[in-house]
Structure 1
Amino acid sequence: MSSSSSPVIVGHRGFKGKFPENTFVGFNKCFELGGTVIETDLWLSSDNVIVISHDQSTKRVFVDKDGKETNYNISLTPYDPVLKNLKTIEGNYPLFTFRELLTWFKNYVDEHPGKEYKLELDIKRLNPAKIAKNIVEDLQSVHSDITWWYDKIQFGIWDLNVLKYLNQDDFFQDKFINGQQFDVFHISVNWRDSIHYINYNFYLDETTPVDRAKIKLTGVSLIYISTWSTGFLTKFVPLLRIQDLKLYSWTINNKFQFDYLSKVGKLADLVEYGVISDDPELMNKYKEQQQQEEASGSGELVPLIKSESKHYYNENGDLTLDLTFQQRLFHWLYLQFNLLVGKRVSVDEQQFAAKVDENKIREIKPNGIAVWIFQTLQKFGIF
């Protein structure tokens, strides 16, 4: 069942490991050196322009036209005349709009036929749900045929209300034709949270009128440490299989992480699996090496059921892989970190039928210690 493109190679913020994040130079290098998907980050400015930035604050990455430090909250700041003049600290690249990204992407696809290039849009939790409408409007402004975008755009959501909004607002009903849609991934730091999103698919199947389009979750994008557990293998992977959901994992930057996800994807026969990496070139080399080994017969081809193998489905139908002591330890430590983060699925997300306020911006007060730990680990490429 796994697609021939698996593992899909996704460039994290373009090619974050070697080039400034979320810049056209990094995006070009991602596609040129083996990635087929670019993961990037969206924020809606106060004048309803979608801009490309990982952080809501401009402080870490951007300076003004005079090279002075900035600290704008993008959601509270207009693109014109403020944000449009900002440049990256590293390389002096512009803070650009989503529409500019789409124009570049369409030109790139037109100039490089034969490959299935995609954009994965990381829609941050502090965005209002209406950003989904702005996204579709920008897509159609660059290419008016919305069906052209179906296999080229992936929504990455941290908030179920965005998916609920896609189903509730009539604006989207004529945008999804004959059951076709964009991929919608839940970006998650814990597979247990993603179960709630999967349950929303069941809810849609049970409650959506036959004459109304339903936009469903098609995949989950998990932080890799969350997948290093027996519970993930025996409880969550079967849910992916039941609904033919894709599995991506982030941020994968070494061969051990790459090989582990590949084993999960192959053994579970997932419809598609992908690695989100700071170094898509390196991941593509691993993929090519894997393909060469399998073609020559020297690769590890593990059958789904084989009693003498370490990797197989047991008599209960559970996928089992040998997890190393290091994996189990890191996963346990990560669970302790999750205790600092606290509850992640809000009350309004739990209520599938609750009406979404498209303008609401969540007020979240993150644990300062948890934020510092996460950002520090990201700086060293661990998350």
Structure 2
Amino acid sequence: MTVASLKAPSKLLWSSSSSPVIAGHRGFKSRFVENSLVGFTKCYDSGATVIETDLWLSSDNVIVISHDRMTKRVFVDEEGNETNYNISKTPYDPVLKNLKTKQGGYPLLSFVDLLNWFVAYVERKEGGGEGGEGGEDKLKLQLDIKRFNPTKITKYIIGDLLKVKDDLCWWYSRVQFGIWDLKFLKYLNQDEFFQQDIFGKVDPSGYTQFDIFNISVNWRDSINYINYNYYLDETTSKERKKLKLTGVSLLYISTWSIDFLTKFVPLLQIQRLKFYSWTVNNKFQFQYLNKIGEKAKLVEYGIVTDHPDTMVEYKQEILQNNIEVYSSESNDSELSTEIKPLIDYESNQYYNEDGELVIELTVKQMIMCWIYNQIISLNGSNRKIKTESQRFAARVDENKIDEVKINPIFAWCFQTCQKYGIF
């Protein structure tokens, strides 16, 4: 099949949420213990509609919820002793299931624990008439599938979803896959497990697959995922199911460049991709993302934040302003039959004469983006994409766990910036 870059999008790319979507980072990280049920509950209660959380596959093939691969920072054992287990090399039973958080004493959750809680919460909300079938703003889970997991974790995700609620279509519009490596997307299209009849059906919202986001610290890396979408269109037979990239989630500071606005945003438009930004924690960052989404008319855009309550307030301000403008225009039209002149917008209100998106960057933004690029270069993140990632037809080993040496200076810089809410 030949790719037509401007062809009509399929239903799976349509938005089912009103933008900007508010996603709680690890639940409600700024006020409650990360990746805990209390944090997840408070996140949804604040008005956010998405929870971003992190997955690891244990040595006995149980999916657990933890941001870090090592348990040292967050978890202790039953007696309160410090732990330092590598989740990928440790069994859930009898070790990991008995760990608890240092603050609050909350258990290290399994994915099934989270799903059982999620289904109960959703059914309680929908039972009250909120977000029913086919409605907008459904509650969702964004699964951050860590790069150093084996690709077979995706099979176990499907297994756990069906174990908790045996209806894959029900999950399509409620679960987003977040991947850091193209191998996961390649695996989804290569392995026959994902060609079963249970895949590819249409849910009431029009979804035929899960949303699949590339999570990245560098928008240039995401271009390879977009190329893979084109590759699938060109090479996949009509009889075979395609699982495509539907969105990109980028570290917010990596978007503070003219190149991002003029080179990458058009790719989002052409492919009808959703766009999220993380970790957005203040009004300036929020407004910048919203400006991109509105001016570029992206199919859906959202933020991942440590402060979902505050970001919900910012979103409500936008919605209220839009209502007031609409109401004012409606009242004026009812009171007068006078023909009014067209609103005087300049021709370069949205795009300049070179077709570039018109969003002004402050000097501070450009300097911060430059500094950020220098930091990530310490870990080789500005290098060209690895050759194996460009071999779209190369087979993926479902059991392989990648091991990459991270520059300790880069790790310290990045973790310190995250600690103080800079990234």
Letter matched to residue 319 of structure 1: L
Q: Which residue of 2 aligns with 1:324?
A: 362
Separation in 2 of the partners of 1:338 and 1:22?
26
Q: Which residue of 1 aligns with 2:7?
A: none
Matched, 1:254 2:282: yes
RMSD: 1.8
Q: Which residue of 1 aligns with 2:272?
A: 244
Letter matched to residue 180 of structure 2: W
Note the 1:278-289 alignment, pairs <5 A: 278-289=306-317
**Residue 4 to residue 354, structure 1, CA distance change in 2 (3 Å):** closer
Aligned pair partner of 1:168 in 165, 184, 190: 190
Aligned residues: 378
**Deviation for aligned residue 1:308:** 7.1
- Secondary structure of the 1:40 match is strand
Matched, 1:198 2:226: yes
- Secondary structure of the 1:341 match is coil
Aligned pair partner of 1:142 in 160, 164, 167: 164
Separation in 2 of the partners of 1:102 and 1:21?
16
Aligned pair partner of 2:213 in 155, 180, 185: 185
Separation in 2 of the partners of 1:177 and 1:290?
36
Note the 1:1-383 alignment, pairs <5 A: 5-113=18-126, 114-115=130-131, 116-174=138-196, 175-178=198-201, 180-297=208-325, 306-307=345-346, 312-343=350-381, 345-383=385-423
Letter matched to residue 156 of structure 1: G
Letter matched to residue 106 of structure 2: Y
Separation in 1 of the partners of 2:102 and 2:387?
39
**Deviation for aligned residue 1:331:** 0.5
**Deviation for aligned residue 1:347:** 2.7
Q: Contact between 2:26 and 2:34, CA under 8 Å: does it hold in 1?
A: yes
**Percent identity over paired residues:** 62
- Secondary structure of the 1:38 match is strand
Choose 1 or 2 for highest CA Rg. Answer: 2
Q: Deviations over 1:186-217 (max 9, x none)?
A: 00101000000110000000000110000000
- Secondary structure of the 1:127 match is coil
Q: Contact between 1:140 and 1:146, CA under 8 Å: does it hold in 2?
A: yes
Q: Contact between 2:169 and 2:201, CA under 8 Å: does it hold in 1?
A: no
Q: Deviations over 1:337-358 (max 9, x none)?
A: 1211204743322210000000
**Deviation for aligned residue 1:306:** 4.3
**Deviation for aligned residue 1:297:** 2.4
Q: Deviations over 1:60-108 (max 9, x none)?
A: 0000000000000000000000001100001100001001101110111
- Secondary structure of the 1:297 match is helix
Separation in 2 of the partners of 1:173 and 1:112?
33
Runs of at least 5 residues in structure 1 that lack an aligned partner in the other structure: none
**Deviation for aligned residue 1:381:** 1.2
Letter matched to residue 353 of structure 1: A
**Deviation for aligned residue 1:314:** 1.2
Letter matched to residue 301 of structure 2: Y
Runs of at least 5 residues in structure 2 that lack an aligned partner in the other structure: 1-13, 132-137, 203-207, 327-341
Q: TM-score, normalised by structure 1?
A: 0.96
**Deviation for aligned residue 1:307:** 3.1
**Deviation for aligned residue 1:4:** 6.1
- Secondary structure of the 1:112 match is helix
**Deviation for aligned residue 1:42:** 0.1
Separation in 1 of the partners of 2:47 and 2:77?
33
- Secondary structure of the 1:241 match is helix
Q: Contact between 1:3 and 1:271, CA under 8 Å: does it hold in 2?
A: no
Separation in 2 of the partners of 1:173 and 1:287?
39
Letter matched to residue 317 of structure 1: G
